Amino acid sequence: METADTIGAAPRPGLRERKKQRTRDALLRAALELFTTQGYEQTTVDEIADAVDVSQRTFFRYFAGKEDVALFVQRLAESHFLAAVRERPPHEAPLEALRRAVLESWDTIGEAIEAVIPIELHMRTFQLIESTPALLAAHLRRSAEMEEEIAGVIAEREGLDVDADPRPRVAVAVFGGVMRVTGRLWGAGEDTSVEAIRALTASYLDHVGPALAEKWRT
Amino acid sequence: METADTIGAAPRPGLRERKKQRTRDALLRAALELFTTQGYEQTTVDEIADAVDVSQRTFFRYFAGKEDVALFVQRLAESHFLAAVRERPPHEAPLEALRRAVLESWDTIGEAIEAVIPIELHMRTFQLIESTPALLAAHLRRSAEMEEEIAGVIAEREGLDVDADPRPRVAVAVFGGVMRVTGRLWGAGEDTSVEAIRALTASYLDHVGPALAEKWRT
DNA sequence: AGGCTAGTGACAGTCGCTGACAGTTGACAA
DNA sequence: TTGTCAACTGTCAGCGACTGTCACTAGCCT
């Protein structure tokens, strides 16, 4: 099944594989570039394919559709976050684990992204998603799916049954809600640095307690 | 501009208007019936139009698309909930107002729905939305938009600036997150009665506090 | 009764997406 | 090196969602 160098650190992917990777990257970049400059709906799949000089059919062999390309990097980031959650030490309280996972994972996420596309392009894409109904919808659905997954992780950490105890899902729902708000505000604001989103997230998470309080008047 | 009976309680819509209403209702029912029996993706717009004996073009004059029909009743419910929130007395704490608004509005929502389609059909539609990716995505986006609106209402109640104080958005995000979880579980469960969703909602809202606690172990 | 206009159907066209088939090119063994 | 196999690709054909156009029908109003 596998060649001898499977164990080695640099398996040298082979020409075929490298070519595939190049086409995939080229399609991704071309798509995001076109989306962010002329708009998502205004960009046709043919345009993207033409820009990379492949047939439309080939585009669909690499990506499930327009949506899929647009959210590709987002999914990358999400999987990093999910991994970060799984690696939190078990003694941390659920919300604390989630909080630290986000705050810490942003750096690794940034690196992972830059290995594929320029970070600046990703920023523009992020704002595009927020402002394009079709993309926002798809993104929210993905988020919902991931929340379900995370709820499972949390439940396991605490040795609970997700379907019996409401707390895992509730905690994750609360957390997810706050994350969406911060993401939205970050995209709308001026400062698109990693520091900015980190500070914003921390601040908003700190406001969950006060927001649930009976009296808002100081 | 308006005829004399504008002031009257029963303006008698006129034949034209009544005909339109009938077509709209017929399209809505036919669509939901087809969606829930053979599936959303498996149902074409032509089928729906044929079932009501109008042209495809006419369908698109009444609804923006397939998604729009499927979520029509949901939007009806949402607007009722929003109205209920606006009518809560100002002395209630934000989360308390939201809580009471949901719990109380379900009855009025039920009535409003039944004026358009049989309630049983709506239940099936609800489950369809939860289990159809494309519809779930659209629904989540709508919810997000409404959360933004509600955040504005809450901010106004408390005399705050939504963009300056994080609490309105955070509170609504938390609430919305819990609502989604309960909705999901309700659709997945057996008991589709109004009582069931009411009890489930109350229970899950009560678990927000415990879910945020440091220690989950009793 | 007759003109006005909202609502409709028929038609054509765009775009996202998929299946089928044939041609090309890297991978791997004889 | 060469030949075989499998992976990738392009071309073509087609479906379904959706939109613009235009002529026509049918309520409405005077």
B164 touches A: beta carbon within 8 Å = no
Q: Specify the pLDDT at position A1.
A: 36
B136 touches A: beta carbon within 8 Å = yes
Q: Are A175 and A95 in contact (CB under 8 A)?
A: yes
Q: How far apart are the first and last CA of chain A?
A: 68
Q: Measure, in angstroms, how far nucleotide C29 C1' is from residue A52 CA.
A: 35
**Does residue A45 reach within 7 angstroms of strand C, measured from its CB?**
yes
Residue B204 identity (one-letter amino acid): Y
pLDDT in tens, chain A (218 residues): 333 333 344 566 787 889 999 999 999 999 999 999 999 999 999 999 999 999 999 999 999 999 999 999 999 999 999 999 999 999 999 999 999 999 999 989 999 999 999 999 999 999 999 999 999 999 999 999 999 999 999 999 999 999 999 999 999 999 999 999 999 999 888 898 889 999 999 999 999 999 988 888 76
Nearest to B99 by CA among B160, B165, B174, B149: B174
B218: which 2 tokens? Answer: 């009793």
Q: Are B179 and B201 in contact (CB under 8 A)?
A: yes
**What is the tens place of the pLDDT at every residue in B104-129?**
999 899 999 999 999 999 999 999 99
Q: On chain C, which bases lie within 7 A of the protein's CB atoms?
A: 6-11, 15-20, 26-28
Q: How far apart are CA B50 and CA B27, in angstroms?
A: 10
Task: Give B138's contacts in chain A (Cβ within 8 Å).
Answer: 137
Nearest to A200 by CA among A177, A182, A188: A182
Q: Which domains does chain B have, with CATH numbers?
A: 13-65 (1.10.10.60), 71-212 (1.10.357.10)
A24: which 2 tokens? Answer: 């995939």
Listed in sequence order, the residues at least 6 apart from B162 whose beta carbon sits closer than 8 Å to its beta carbon are B151, B152, B155, B168, B169
A137 touches B: beta carbon within 8 Å = yes
Please count the helices (runs of H) and the strands (runs of E) in chain B. Answer: 11, 0
**What is the tens place of the pLDDT at every residue in B196-207?**
999 999 999 999
Size of interface A-B (CB pairs under 8 A): 113
Please count the helices (runs of H) and the strands (runs of E) in chain A. Answer: 11, 0
A170 touches B: beta carbon within 8 Å = yes
What single DSSP character describes residue B167?
H
Q: How far apart are CA B206 and CA A216, in angstroms?
A: 19
Tell the residue number behind the tokens 């139009």, with chain if given.
B49
Residue A135 identity (one-letter amino acid): L
